[in-house]
Amino acid sequence: MKRRDLIMGASAGMLSGLVASARAVDLPTIRWRLASSYPKSLDTIYGAAELLAARLNRITEGKFQIRVFAGGEIVPGLQVLEAVEQGTVECGHTASYYYVGKNMAFAFDTCLPFGFNAREQNAWMYFGGGLQLMREFFKSYNLISFPGGNTGVQMGGWFRKEIKSLADLKGLKMRIPGIGGQILARLGAVPQTLAGGDIYPALERGAIDATEWVGPYDDEKLGFHKVAKNYYYPGWWEGGPQLSFYVNLKKWQELPDPYKAAFETAAAEANVTMLAEYDAKNPPALMRLVKQGVKLHPFPQDVMVAARQEAFKIYDEEAARNPAFQRIYGEWKKFRDASLQWMKLAEASYANFLYYTK
């Protein structure tokens, strides 16, 4: 290398170093608190918020710091929405369908029974206008949302006795929250809402006949297989539930642009990573459960068909009385109908061949 090039190279390097440090000095140090709805024991879900915080820390060289709090540490797990809305915390990690009591339209941000799988949810959010519609809706709650993870299709849960047909749902006491519970109630079951820690003892002593949770990896840790051997699939009420990061709108607007970009990038990474982690951890967990005598059953067809029918009756009834729900539902349903036409061709036939043809 010629001497001149060396000097040029050295000064270019020095210059970019100066620019970098000048920019780093310009950007403020920001400390936020994030309230998660989840306990640390749900490591795959809780971990998405930790990933977000760790990435932001690295990207901004420690200037944008987010401290993550588990559910109940500073905010009760099911009050993350209110905490972000009121600015008690700057941001949160939660599932929007916890708040359907305020407005059923919240469900679109997570999932609706017989709705999208994880891929379709992402497609709708990022390219189908879903994120825009949800953000419009969330504005009146003073927040902006970011997709923040997905579990993939969940399992249908643990049943003390086998379910052979629709008639077996009569009087069945099942721990299942949200719209899934409403549907089961219409089919004769008695849905129960229990916090995570209360489910196992209730199932053990027969206070409930069944419970749903997530899938093999998370369910195994709670030990349901020790007291109910029948493990049903699929969890048709959660075909691709999305978790979300909420950010207080005013706090978001105050963020420097590079931090906004960093947040979007880290949230997108957390969104992808959670599903990948579940897809890697569920198969070995399922094998361990089966080795311990767990019996796998698909839900009977008449249960699935009746549940789907009730689900769409509920949506039509809600759309008739709730303008916010109606606005999003129309777009959601259009996207869903088109997606099903596509997914049933290449995706479904490829999957069916691989899974079932020897």
Q: Where along the sequence are the contacts to Ca ion (CB under 5 A)?
A: 154, 212, 238
Query: Cβ of residue 174: shortest distance to Ca ion, in angstroms?
Result: 12
Q: Closer CB to Ca ion, residue 120 or residue 218? A: 218
Task: Please enumerate in sequence order all residues whose Cβ is within 8 A of that of 176, keeping only pairs 6 or more positions apart, or say none.
Answer: 157, 184, 191, 192, 211, 212, 237
Query: Cβ of residue 348: shortest distance to Ca ion, in angstroms?
Result: 24
Q: Closer CB to Ca ion, residue 154 or residue 339? A: 154
Query: In what side-by-side order are the strands of the sheet with 91-94?
Result: 64-69, 30-36, 91-94, 242-248, 143-150
Query: Cβ of residue 95: shortest distance to Ca ion, in angstroms?
Result: 10
User: How many other CB atoms sit within 10 Å of the CB of residue 327?
Assistant: 15
Query: Cβ of residue 310: shortest distance to Ca ion, in angstroms?
Result: 18
User: How many other CB atoms sit within 10 Å of the CB of residue 303?
Assistant: 22
Q: Closer CB to Ca ion, residue 90 or residue 238? A: 238
Q: Closer CB to Ca ion, residue 154 or residue 182? A: 154
Side-chain-side CA neighbours of 97 within 13 Å: the count stands at 19
Pairwise CA distance, residues 255 & 108, whole Å: 27
Pairwise CA distance, residues 148 & 191, whole Å: 28
Query: Cβ of residue 218: shortest distance to Ca ion, in angstroms?
Result: 9
For residue 151, give the DSSP letter: -
Q: Closer CB to Ca ion, residue 15 or residue 296? A: 296
